Amino acid sequence: MSDAWLIEPAGPLRGEVQVRGSKNAVTKHMVAAILGSGPSTITNVPEVGDVDITAGILTAVGAGVERTGDSITITPPAEVNPIVPLSFSGLNRIPVLLLGPLLHLAGEAFVPRVGGDRIGGRPVDFHVDTLRALGAEVEVTDEGISARCSRLRGGIIELPYPSVGATETALMSAAMAEGKSVIRGAATEPEVLELALFLQRMGARIELRPDRRIVIEGVPNLRGARNRLQGDRNEAFSYLVAGLLTGGEVRVVGCGQDRLVTAITTLMRMGAQVDVDDNGMTASAPDGLRAAAVQTDVHPGFMTDWQTPLMVLFTQAEGMSVLHETVYEDRFVYVPALQAMGGEIELFSSCLGGPACRFHETSNLHSAVVRGVSKLRGAEVEIPDVRAGFSSVIAAAAADGPSTLRGVHHLERGYHRPAEQLRSLGVDLTTT
């Protein structure tokens, strides 16, 4: 299979894109499903590489995985293999989320080291501390994480930072723990709440409290459930930006307005016109775009995954824009590629465009100043991760001259049929 795309500029992108469920939600639902007493079915599932990787992991521990169209059915294992093979090392973040469920099912677990996008440190400490708070014995080695516990018991889980992954580990681990658990400092991203609602359908007793607290009363058993995933807010924003960047107009359907509130207002502040109805939304900029200052944050702030397409959009906005990344310290790994394509971007270790963040006394380059309007040009680009991949694609679509993008498997790991969707909007894309 080809791992490179040749993109020729073809003018403004126009058309409609139907987004499916979030890659950040479907894989967590798949893991939670092995806790049920019977099969669970998830629908509106995207065709992304992370689903295939997760299916392989679940099959390896003894679960059944059946896919039909846009639905996937997970059958809990009759005989559990509590050891996730080392062959899954470094592919994605899912193995660490299996620790709690495997402890419930087998009393022991081993998962290999985690992987995912190269966007900065995403340590497993929060996951390990969560399991220890619930009574597990946990050992971390260079190969992975081992855990053992005859029965998880409720406890107080203090998260120093509202980590999405650690909150998801806490939810799945506490759902069947003996007694009551409280997560303090929990993440509240839509994908986290979507998982909590799915667990509730399975019979979990979960309450959402003020001040980022979640209370879980453990139950002895969960049942299978069915859920239709909500639209992927990352994809939705990316395609809206693709239209704006090229002077076109893209309509996105399948993702609710409530999942894009902050993103929509950000685009409006830049001069975009965003028309929203019950089925979808359209973004256009007939009078051009102006500069803005944006700071990423945990939900309900501006999502860190949105900043990669926004950075490209800043290159086509009149004036000096500022982007302050506060979630991951190395999220700007894609910037050299945009600079090579003509983007006028300078990175700083200072906190610009917002109050001081947790990286303010480090040497991490986590603020960017972008001068627009920049004339983008074609280039050869190596894609480092999922979101950076899309930013390179839309930059290439707006550039003067052809571009070759290598490493597109990263893009295919997180976006539903990206080549097909992009071609439908008018991108001149050839696999090489």
Q: Which residue has the tokens 């403004």?
A: 12
Summarised one tens digit per residue, pLDDT across range 170-210 is 999 999 999 999 999 999 999 999 999 999 999 999 999 99
pLDDT over 60 (residue 1): no
Amino acid letter, residue 223: R
Instruction: State CA 234 to chain mean position distance.
Output: 7
Residues 380, 404 contacting (CB under 8 angstroms): yes
> Where are the chain's structural domains?
4-19+231-431, 23-228
Summarised one tens digit per residue, pLDDT across range 2-54 is 689 999 988 999 999 999 999 889 999 999 999 999 999 999 999 998 999 99
Distance (Å, rounded) from C-alpha 73 to C-alpha 30? 8
From the list 99, 199, 84, the residue with the least C-alpha distance to 139 is 99
Torsion, CA 425, CA 265, CA 22, CA 100, rounded to 10: 160
pLDDT over 60 (residue 333): yes
- Three-class SS state of 330: coil
pLDDT, residue 123, reads 64
Catalytic residue ranges: 117
Distance (Å, rounded) from C-alpha 415 to C-alpha 393? 12
Summarised one tens digit per residue, pLDDT across range 90-128 is 878 899 999 999 999 999 999 998 754 443 344 689 999
Q: Which helix (H) or strand (E) holds 27?
A: helix 23-33
Average pLDDT over residues 141-160: 95
Summarised one tens digit per residue, pLDDT across range 342-358 is 999 999 999 998 889 98
Average pLDDT over residues 407-420: 88
Q: Which helix (H) or strand (E) holds 393?
A: helix 386-398
pLDDT over 90 (residue 330): no
pLDDT, residue 331, reads 85
* CA 242 vs CA 21, 390, 420: distances in Å: 20, 9, 15
Q: Which residue has the tokens 């966007």?
A: 119
Q: What is the CATH number of domain 23-228?
A: 3.65.10.10
Domain 4-19+231-431 listed as CATH 3.65.10.10: yes
From the list 173, 222, 235, the residue with the least C-alpha distance to 26 is 235
**One fold for 4-19+231-431 and 23-228:** yes
Rounded percentage of the chain residues whose pLDDT exceeds 70:
97
Summarised one tens digit per residue, pLDDT across range 205-263 is 999 999 999 999 999 999 999 999 999 999 999 999 999 999 999 999 999 999 999 99
